[in-house]
Amino acid sequence: MRGKFITFEGGEGSGKSTQARLLAEHLRALGRTVIETREPGGSPFAERVRAFILDPTTPPHAPLSEALLFSAARADHVAGTIRPALAAGTWVVCDRFTDSTRVYQGAAGGLSSDVLDELERIVVGPTRPDLTFLLDLDPASGLGRAQRRAVATGAPTDAYEARDLAYHERLRRGFLDLARGSPGRLVVVDAGAAVHVIANQIRTHLAERLGAP
Ligand SMILES: Nc1ncnc2c1ncn2[C@@H]1O[C@H](COP(=O)(O)OP(=O)(O)OP(=O)(O)O)[C@@H](O)[C@H]1O
Ligand SMILES: [Mg+2]
């Protein structure tokens, strides 16, 4: 049987990576085979594209150029990692996916939804997420978390984190608009709660939407 495809979306520092890891651990404890992956990235080629896009010294470029780069990375990730895993019955938990492109390059970047629809048709085809968790958080809190994490780990700030608060507010609204448009797939979670509270809510939603894992 095909595995399930679950994605995590939301702004910077909203807890996507934390919750993706906890959900994958939970599913493994229930006996599922699970891979954790991320975008941009998730395959050797796509990770190289990730490094280039997120590098703050990469020269400014148009949202279309960016969407095409993300699509090049995504095509490799979907064909080489996600599709084979799902076909083998493995569950795939992915940290960001097409909704991030819709919001960063679309809602906030100004790229038309026709272009994004077409890219998604070509690159993703039928390999759409079964369920997506949107971690909704006030951007100031998210950026604060990301900055504290940067100080703690020594990791540099990426190109998106460095943008101003108004940009991050547009991202938040973009994600919430997407969720309103796809209530069957996108579940909005209050990401301001404690880590374990959010993890429990995600498990409950998962069981309600997809049945007992
Ligand atoms: N619910 C929470 N409450 C407080 N802190 C949290 C919560 N969830 C995660 N954090 C902390 O906030 C920071 C950002 O979390 P995480 O890396 O999971 O977010 P992210 O959405 O993946 O961020 P990015 O967009 O930068 O990839 C981490 O240091 C993490 O430990
Ligand atoms: Mg992350």
Per the structure block, which two tokens stand in for 75? 């095509």
CATH number of the 5-210 domain = 3.40.50.300
The CB of 142 under 6 Å from ligand 1? The reply is no
The CB of 197 under 6 Å from ligand 1? The reply is no
Kindly report the pTM of this predicted structure. Answer: 0.97
Mean pLDDT of the chain: 96
Closest ligand 1 atom, residue 158 Cα: 26
Per the structure block, which two tokens stand in for 93? 């938990």
Q: How many CB atoms lie within 10 A of CB 184?
A: 7
Residues 104-150 have pLDDT tens digits of 999 999 999 999 999 999 999 999 999 999 999 999 999 999 999 99
Ligand 2 (ion): residues with CB under 5 Å are: 17
The angle formed by the CA atoms of residues 168, 133 and 3, to the nearest 5 degrees, is: 140
Q: Tell me what pLDDT residue 161 has.
A: 86
Nearest ligand for residue 161 CA: 1
Tell which residue, 177, 198, 181, has the closest CA to residue 189: 198
DSSP letter, residue 40 = S
